[in-house]
Amino acid sequence: MTAGCQAPAGGVSLDGVDLAKESVIQGVVTRSGDVPVAGAYVRLLDAIGEFTAEVPTNDQGEFRFFAAPGQWTLRTLAPRAAPVDQAVVAKQGVVAAVAVSIGS
Amino acid sequence: MSRENVLVSANWVEQHLDDPQVVLVEVDEDTTAYDKNHIKNAVRLDWKSDLQDPVRRDFVNKEQFEALLSAKGIGHDDIVVLYGGNNNWFAAYAYWYFKLYGHDDVRLLDGGRKIWELESRELVDDLTERTPTEYRASDPDLAIRAFRDEVVGAIGTKNLVDVRSPDEYAGRLLAPAHLPQEQAQRGGHIPTAQNIPWSKAANDDGTFRSDDDLRTLYGQAGVDLDTDTIAYCRIGERSAHTWFVLHELLGVSNVKNYDGSWTEYGSLVGVPIAVGDEPGAA
């Protein structure tokens, strides 16, 4: 069965994934410094700012993408917060970890 | 066809939560989303287990669709309002199914589950019980569904619109970037297809852009809407979103969704493929 296109909250698990072939971007969205934000929407924008994927955060505020090597932008939308953009570089075989902090 | 007949706002839905004529339907692949919570009185459709044949790679047929909707308690005269995650990709896909099988009044919640959550509207976890119906579907309307032979024949002769992200179109990614990239099919796009990502038709909050913006989008891309158009993506759900924009919002009648999409095309033996950011020659 073909894998679908809908991201589970937090992103697809790394179980069984050959990380050497992937360029993973993952992270945690927090509010007020260290409170994880569940149900935020993190979108991955490419080098020209075009939408590439979107994942809702899980209860731990986590998200994950499987990108290609290069420059990307994460745009985070959450209730009662202004959108936040954050640049990130993905490399094959490396998990790029990003901390996203939204308004207080 | 106009926007008012096919698209409803979150406020409209809130005012019709208990309207007996309205059936709210959440469409997800990730069924844990509905299990966790959903809009009051909404029933669930799973795009894969409910809408795909369990054996053949195809849709459920007319009889299966009738059985599904009957069990969900949906009547042919009900106003069906679809919503879901991922900017309504799968809700739009289900919308296209409902139209394929002749449901009269089906609408999308503009912005889907995302805008409902971002606006902190009420979600419940009660199970929705509906009395089963005896739903009768029409024969499938193949004027809105494209198959592979027509797609191959459309190269250089009809509008092909690839609605995936630019990196998938170029072949740098094989799937949307929330999925692992190791996939069976080749990368690239159908030669002569233009890349107009589905996301250009939507705002960040998942709502659709205005009709004027949408006309400008396709006009500036040079898509002659008087010519037949076939939209595709990877598995047909993002292109159902674009089909909804063209066919339902802008009222362009000669538009089909190729649900086999890149998963099928990129696995076919002997068909041409273009890689890189340019459409390529026929």
Residue that has been written with the tokens 């024949």 in this structure: B153
What is the structure's pLDDT at A2?
A: 40
What is the structure's pLDDT at B9?
A: 97
Beta bridge partners of A62: A28
Structure tokens at B269: 């033996």
ipTM attached to this prediction: 0.82
Instruction: List the single best residue of B35, B37, B56, B178 to mutate versus A (max A Cβ within 10 A).
Output: B178
CB B230 within 8 A of CB B259: no
Q: What is the DSSP letter of A40?
A: -
CB A103 within 8 A of CB A81: yes
Segment B113-135 mean pLDDT: 95
Higher pLDDT, B176 or A23: A23
Angle at CA of residue A53, ends B177 and B8, nearest 5°: 150
Residue B199 has pLDDT above 60, yes or no: yes
Judged by CB atoms closer than 8 Å, whether chains meet at A22 and B182 is answered as: yes
Segment B124-140 mean pLDDT: 96
B119, B167, B263: residue with CB nearest A68: B167
Judged by CB atoms closer than 8 Å, whether chains meet at A6 and B89 is answered as: yes
Segment B9-21 mean pLDDT: 97
What is the structure's pLDDT at B252?
A: 96
Structure tokens at B136: 């009768």
What is the spatial distance between Cα B194 and Cα B53, in angstroms, rounded to a whole number? 31
Judged by CB atoms closer than 8 Å, whether chains meet at A4 and B29 is answered as: yes
Residue B75 has pLDDT above 90, yes or no: yes
* Chain B interface, Cβ < 8 Å to A: 28-30, 32-33, 47-48, 84-87, 89-90, 114, 117-120, 165-167, 172-173, 175-182, 197, 199-200, 204-205, 233-235, 237-238, 263
Segment B124-134 mean pLDDT: 95
The residues of chain A scoring below 50 in pLDDT are 1-3
What is the structure's pLDDT at B100?
A: 97
What is the structure's pLDDT at A104?
A: 63
Please pick, among B161, B173, B193, B233, the residue that the annotation labels catalytic: B233
What is the spatial distance between Cα B246 and Cα B248, in angstroms, rounded to a whole number? 6
What is the spatial distance between Cα B145 and Cα B204, in angstroms, rounded to a whole number? 28
Question: Could you give the 3-state DSSP secondary structure of residue B184?
Answer: coil
Residue B244 has pLDDT above 70, yes or no: yes
Query: What backbone torsions phi and psi does residue B140 show, to the nearest 5 degrees?
Result: -60, 135
Structure tokens at B90: 């799968």
What is the spatial distance between Cα A8 and Cα A63, in angstroms, rounded to a whole number? 9
What is the structure's pLDDT at B28?
A: 82
Query: What backbone torsions phi and psi does residue B78 show, to the nearest 5 degrees?
Result: -70, 150
CB B18 within 8 A of CB B73: no
Segment B112-124 mean pLDDT: 95
Judged by CB atoms closer than 8 Å, whether chains meet at A12 and B180 is answered as: yes
Residue B154 contacts by C-beta under 8 Å, 6 or more apart in sequence? B146, B160, B228, B230
Question: Could you give the 3-state DSSP secondary structure of residue B5?
Answer: helix
Residue B225 has pLDDT above 60, yes or no: yes
What is the structure's pLDDT at A1?
A: 33
Active-site residue B227, yes or no? no
Residue B1 has pLDDT above 70, yes or no: no
What is the structure's pLDDT at B179?
A: 86
Higher pLDDT, B47 or B197: B197
A7, A50, A66: residue with CB nearest B165: A50
Question: Could you give the 3-state DSSP secondary structure of residue B234?
Answer: coil
What is the structure's pLDDT at B32?
A: 79
Q: pLDDT digit string (tens) for B81-115?
A: 999 988 999 999 999 999 999 999 999 999 999 99
Number of C-alpha atoms within 13 angstroms, CB side, residue B139?
A: 2
